[in-house]
Structure 1
Amino acid sequence: MPAKISQRDFAQLLDGPAVDREIDRLTRKRGGWLDVAQILSRRINGTVDWERLGPAGSRYSVIGSRGEAVLFDDRMDESRIIKLRGREENGYGTAGFGCILVRNERGMIEYGPGSMEQALERERLSWQVLGFGCELEAIIGDHAGMLLAQRFIAGRAPTEREIRSWMTERGWEPLQMRRDVSVTLRDHAWQRDGIGAFDANETNFIRSEADGELYPIDLIVWPMPQ
């Protein structure tokens, strides 16, 4: 069974001053970064129900917030990255606990918000078909959020050409010409044996310094909608 942690206890594991500094940094950039700062605040504070965050030096130090998650360093285990995912209303919007593939009202394949259970199934599929993914670390409160742990890979972003070669060598077929896939998703969408692997771009892969291999660190892996 996965570990469960209360919202208050999770809040105390967060380095509050580091969160404040990151929000201040984003706010000072102004423009669209103000929205990013507000989303980061909602994602953290909404998940812990506005409990007081921990002191400087606490276990989890915020790295940043990207599409589906808030990322943290784990000061007790530097070999991994921690991802916080949560409810739509807590700043996660159309991602939910992690995007899945759905058909919209026009019959086009696009992203839809996934439940916690679907997000965990997505990680299982990622391990199964890509050989890499996240593991469930803990569930926060009454499904207020969840923590996923992923091995930290030091390296560089690969090129689009390297990604295409990696996917093709493993039997994945590109969906660039698939007319029922949303136009904005086609260039980085693949399928194999009825499973889709979307968002396969240079920000979601890393080439390891240690072994030279490519690792898919944040693809959206889900059965192709019928």
Structure 2
Amino acid sequence: MLCKEAGHEIVCLANLFPSESKEIDSYMYQSVGHEGIKAIGQATGLPLFRKEIRGRPLNTEKTYEVEEKDEVEDLFFLLKTIKSQYPNIEGVSVGAIQSSYQKDRVENVCKRLNLTPLCYLWEKDQIQLFDSMIHAGVDAIVIKVAAMGLTSKHLGMTLKEIRDHLLEMNKKYGSHVCGEGGEYETFVVDSPLYQKRISVDQCEAILHSDNSIAPVAYLKLNSLSLCDKNEIAQ
């Protein structure tokens, strides 16, 4: 959204998804909710390019140097494929807020492909950023929790619904309000970039780790459909 406000044209979407269609722990990518990515492509009306994550986080140093079988190289080859079909693309939107680890790796890939990383969220105040997303019309639901103060009961809650609790957890435990520390993950069901709204028709909560302090649980999105924006989500 901020890229468009700055005058850029969104040409297509890119997504890296886990092998065997299951949620994985990645240093770089969100994998939970990957079954809903096609719906995002349909909702935006933009071409969607996808690649299976084959690599692993082998090089975990602060500054990335190319490692052949590292998961970062999956991003390199995905963007390389896209650039071969869209030779005029010039930049990549990057959603990093505070993660130097992720930002450095996307910048590394972009430099090798002569692309400009567009990091409009970088080092923004997280409370202000969170509220600005809601105000701008981003409707997202929590689909994974993995931090103190968050449990499976928070799955499916919207940003508006969980806002006050996240602020409380920030004061109590120092949690990142925007989930930048991996506290939670979201799935966007509607935004100004969407032509249609995504309806989550069927989902199931899966307990990944029954930790008494910080349980890890996520939603598997089993059935999704598109609806007109004026339809009330059920």
Normalising to structure 1: TM-score of the pair?
0.24
Bigger relative contact order, structure 1 or 2 (CA pairs below 8 A, ≥6 apart): 2
Normalising to structure 2: TM-score of the pair?
0.24
Structure richer in strand, relative to its length? 1
